[in-house]
Amino acid sequence: MKKIVVAIDGPAGAGKSTIAKLVAEKLGYAYIDTGAMYRSVAWKFLQTGKDFDEAFISALAQTMVIEFKPEASVNRVFVDGTEVTDAIRSAEVTANVSRVAAIGDVRAAMVAQQRRMGEVGGVLMDGRDIGTVVFPNAQLKIFLTASVEERALRRYKELVAKGQDVDLAQLKEDIASRDKQDSERAISPLRQAEDALLLDTSDMNIEQVTTRILQLVEERAQ
Ligand code: DC
């Protein structure tokens, strides 16, 4: 079988990273979580304590080194040698990342790295603009989505399982607000590529989604 590029896009909380990681493991493909890259830029910027400044943040994005070290249960992330796996999931980073990801020069720097990582094939990349901008010629494009209610509920269960005290209505509001910011930004907004397959997972479990994507990869990689 050929080693293809699989692009998975979709809104926050649709299960992209969980699914992409499982599928990549089954196929022996590399998994690139591009949201983690934008989160890393936001984290690096917040570390400086400076006011929001597009030119400054763009310069950081161009010089920082982001690395992934996949392990059995987690995809570890490092910025300039420091592990940020948990730090990039903090509420503060989550609240700031959409603004950072809307900066054109930040996106240009990340897209260039993503293309380098994917050029050899055998890669599963998830994000918002993978099928539309990063790899418009990807052999398989999937747009993974689920209702806002279902996405909020999944995130709620995940956080409760980690012992966090969370409010479901607030989570739903946060997700809807991130959807809006990601879909309405001027540069590379979240949208389904014309040739992407829409997979609504509202009524599907993880195994069903994984199996479906594996079938699709098998078809496309002939
Ligand atoms: O998937 P996530 O929640 O980790 O993504 C974090 C943010 O980064 C989110 O606001 C959308 C943005 N993002 C993006 O603009 N382009 C991508 N390819 C991936 C994520």
pTM tops 0.85, yes or no? yes
Roughly how many angstroms between the first and final C-alpha of the chain, as a whole number?
Answer: 6
> pLDDT at residue 12 above 90?
no
pLDDT tens-digit series, residues 172-204: 999 999 899 889 988 989 999 999 999 999 999
Expressed in angstroms and rounded, the spacing between residue 126 Cα and the centre of ligand 1 is 9
- In this structure, are residues 10 and 178 in contact, taking their beta carbons and an 8 Å threshold? no
User: Which pair of tokens denotes residue 148?
Assistant: 């806002």
Amino acid occupying residue 190: L
pLDDT tens-digit series, residues 46-73: 999 999 999 999 999 999 999 999 887 7
Q: How far is CA 61 from the centre of its chain?
A: 17
Tell me which of 128, 132, 133, 143 to substitute to probe ligand 1's pocket, judged by most ligand atoms within 8 Å of the beta carbon. 128
Amino acid occupying residue 12: A
CA distance 185 to 130: 16
CA distance 34 to 36: 5
| Ligand 1 atom closest to the CA of 110, numbered from 1 | 18
pLDDT band at 104 (very low <50, low <70, confident <90, very high): very high
Kindly state if the Cβ of 97 falls inside 6 Å of ligand 1: yes
CA distance 76 to 84: 8
What radius of gyration do the chain's Cα atoms show?
17
Amino acid occupying residue 7: A
